[in-house]
Amino acid sequence: MKDHAGARLIKDMIFKCAVCLFAFISLLPLYLILYYITKNGIMVINWDFLFSLPRPIGESGGGVFNAIIGTVMLIILSCIMSIPCGIAAGIYLSENKKGKLSNTIRLCVIVLQGTPSIVIGIIAYLWVVAPLKTFSALSGGIALSIMMLPVIIKTTEETLKLIPYHLKEASLALGVPYHRTILKVILPSGISGILTGILLSVARITGETAPLLFTAFGNQFMNMNILKPIDSLPYRIFYYAMSPYPEWHSFAWGASFILVVLTLALNLFARGISVKWKIQF
């Protein structure tokens, strides 16, 4: 009997060690990525890099200001398009749990979430770039907003589902019309979850390159016109990294660093909101 117990203890030990080891291995790449990007990127970051435009080949210096502005503009554009649609679809799904349309929407959301981003880029090219005959920030925004939609719909639905039914009853029993009940009771009660979803979807699209390759296209110069091509951080990284010049390579690291910091900040902010604004029922 005693020997058996010993063997079991050893097996337990081995299992525990294995779990720890694999957990460590899976974390390792993440830390290495952060380490490399910080090590190579932080040297490049300075005032000039952040606030000047790319210089032509042959001139040293230059920066990524237009790419930062472009990325911010693309995010704003795609938010304007996807947030109202996403939240509305989420409300519909949580209000109509069963039904043909609900099931169809749910299926579409799953399919959309799994669609390769380059395919979404092609769709945006067909819908917007080809008819307008020009690459544009607008088409990039549309491609990105399609990528945001499934995340927003899913999180809105899941958040609203968790809101107790008796709150809706309380509001309706006071004679509050249905639309006001949704807008003033249900949505505010789920605001932290919905905001978290939006921020996570923004974090998801911030680093997307593929859908922008033939929509927003990239631009050496500063552009604020949504009907003209616009630069973005991921595209700028791609452009700098593909060049044969060592200085531009280091610029690619610098831009990567900005992008990672931005995404990390968004994720931390989303976490903060979901904890701080949590509503107790």
Partner 1 sequence: MENTVLKVENFCAFFGDNKILKEVNLSVSKNVVAALMGPSGCGKTTLIRCVNRMHELIPGTAISGKMTLVNEDIYTMQPIVLRRKVGMVFQKPNPFPTMSIYENVIAGYKLNGIRIPRGELDNIVEQSLKKAALWEEVKDTLHRKGTFLSGGQQQRLCIARALAMDPEILLLDEPTSALDPKSTSQIEELFVELKKNVTMLLVTHNIAQAARVSDFTAFIYLGELIEFGPTEKMFTVPKDKRTEEYLTGKFG
Hey, which residues between 88 and 127 contact partner 1 (CB under 8 A)? Answer: none
The answer to whether 61 contacts partner 1 (rule: CB under 8 A) is no
Question: Binding residues for partner 1, how many (CB under 8 A)?
Answer: 22
Hey, which residues between 188 and 247 contact partner 1 (CB under 8 A)? Answer: 188-189, 191
The answer to whether 185 contacts partner 1 (rule: CB under 8 A) is yes
CB of 192 to partner 1, least distance (A): 11
Torsion of CA 13, 15, 18, 19, to 10 degrees: -110
Cβ atoms 50, 40 nearer than 8 A: no
Which residue from 13, 17, 224, 279 is in contact with partner 1, where contact means CB under 8 A?
A: 279
Tokens 């010049």, residue located: 245
Hey, which residues between 161 and 180 contact partner 1 (CB under 8 A)? Answer: 164, 166-167, 169-177, 180
3-state class (DSSP) for residue 230: strand
The answer to whether 64 contacts partner 1 (rule: CB under 8 A) is no
Tokens 């779990």, residue located: 19
User: For residues 2 and 179, which CB has a smaller minimum distance to partner 1 in the complex?
Assistant: 179
CB of 185 to partner 1, least distance (A): 6
Residues 6+ apart with CB under 8 A from 23: none
The answer to whether 53 contacts partner 1 (rule: CB under 8 A) is no
Stretch that binds partner 1, among 18-26, 128-136, 154-162, 273-281 (CB under 8 A): 273-281
Q: Kindly list the distances between the CA atom of residue 227 and the CA atoms of 10, 134, 207, 211, 253, in Å, as whole numbers in the listed order.
A: 67, 8, 22, 17, 29
Q: Kindly list the distances between the CA atom of residue 109 and the CA atoms of 86, 114, 152, in Å, as whole numbers in the listed order.
A: 10, 9, 10
Output the CA torsion sign for 72, 76, 77, 79: positive
Give the residues lining the site for partner 1 (CB under 8 A): 164, 166-167, 169-177, 180-181, 184-185, 188-189, 191, 279-281
